[in-house]
Amino acid sequence: MKTSVLSIAIGCLFRFTLSAAETAPEAITITAPDGIKILKLESGQPRLYDSKPLRVIEKVAENLAGWQFTSIPQRIVISYQIRVNKTGVIYAFGCGSSRKPPTREQVLGDDASRWVPDADAIEGKNVAVCFRRNVTAGETIALQSFELQLAAESIAVAGTLADASPVAATASGSGAEKTDADPPHRKFSRGRGRTRLNGRWRRWIERFQATSIKTLHCCARICWTKRRKNRQPARPLTNWASNFAMT
């Protein structure tokens, strides 16, 4: 009897432990724009999942094995609202290709002093920066920057913010001035099922078309003038009539 009661108690305790583990909160809960994906942090995972060629995670430190990260579209200024559920460490990395990597202040804004550079933790093509921060449960953090990504022991998504800003937008939390991390001007953009020329490229095409039309018009006038000069006069009708009468 005592053995059966003890086995039942152990079974109940085991089930309670499993249920508590299943309902335990993730390390952080984020609110971010639509389109982000939460993936396992390991080599080969797509970092910018819509880029061509595909940008992937190339190297991850051993102490980050089993962690998760945010996989995002390319060429966006993205915002995060982070709520910390467990005391630990989080990482912020990415920020696009740049000859001169942006500073902590440009990427992390007013919270930059609490982040530490850790370039060897997460590596990949166009990963310009990688920062680490110690966090405590109950903290809330707001971040915004170009192609910014997060990594943590586990990540949950609570909701969505407004759509991510286009490339031309600047991140208020990462400095108002344009930085070297900003992407180059794109020649084309897509909208409503068609490809459109942007800014200066459209103006160049319009100037070329106007110049081409003027050039063709001038050539046509020159050819018409030469043709008129070289045209021979018609024979008089009287000569034709006299020749007909003689026959």
pLDDT tens for 194-230 read: 445 555 666 667 777 777 777 877 878 887 777 777 7
Q: Is the pLDDT of residue 180 over 50?
A: no
CB contact set of 226 (below 8 Å; sequence gap of 6+): none
Q: How far is CA 215 from CA 49, 150, 209, in A?
A: 47, 56, 10
Q: For the whole model, what pTM was predicted?
A: 0.59
Q: Is the pLDDT of residue 163 over 70?
A: no
Distance CA 169, CA 77 (A): 7
Intra-chain end-to-end CA distance of the chain, in Å = 147
Closest CA to 97 of 58, 59, 128: 128
CA angle (138 as vertex; 137, 142 as ends), nearest 5:
110
**What are the tokens at 97?**
């290709």
Which range has the worst mean pLDDT, 34-38, 85-89, 131-135? 34-38
Q: Can you give the pLDDT at residue 170?
A: 37
Q: Can you give the pLDDT at residue 18?
A: 40
pLDDT band at 233; cut points 50, 70, 90: low
Q: Can you give the pLDDT at residue 40?
A: 96
Distance CA 206, CA 200 (A): 10
pLDDT band at 158; cut points 50, 70, 90: confident
**How many Cβ atoms sit within 10 Å of the Cβ of residue 45?**
18
CB contact set of 179 (below 8 Å; sequence gap of 6+): 98, 102, 106
Amino acid type, 70: T
- The C-alpha R_g of the chain, in whole angstroms, comes to 34
Q: Cα dihedral angle (56, 62, 66, 67), rounded to 10 degrees? A: -70
Distance CA 222, CA 215 (A): 11
> Highest mean pLDDT range out of 37-51, 175-189, 226-240?
37-51
Distance CA 131, CA 165 (A): 23
**What are the tokens at 119?**
């370039």
**Strands, DSSP E only, in 49-139?**
55-60, 68-71, 77-84, 88-94, 116-117, 122-124, 129-135
Q: Can you give the pLDDT at residue 225?
A: 79
- What percentage of the chain reaches a pLDDT higher than 70? 64
Closest CA to 41 of 116, 80, 91, 106: 91
Q: Can you give the pLDDT at residue 135?
A: 95
Q: Can you give the pLDDT at residue 226?
A: 72
- What percentage of the chain reaches a pLDDT higher than 90? 38
Q: Can you give the pLDDT at residue 16?
A: 41
Contact 86, 137 (CB under 8 A): yes
Q: Is the pLDDT of residue 15 over 90?
A: no
Q: Can you give the pLDDT at residue 96?
A: 75
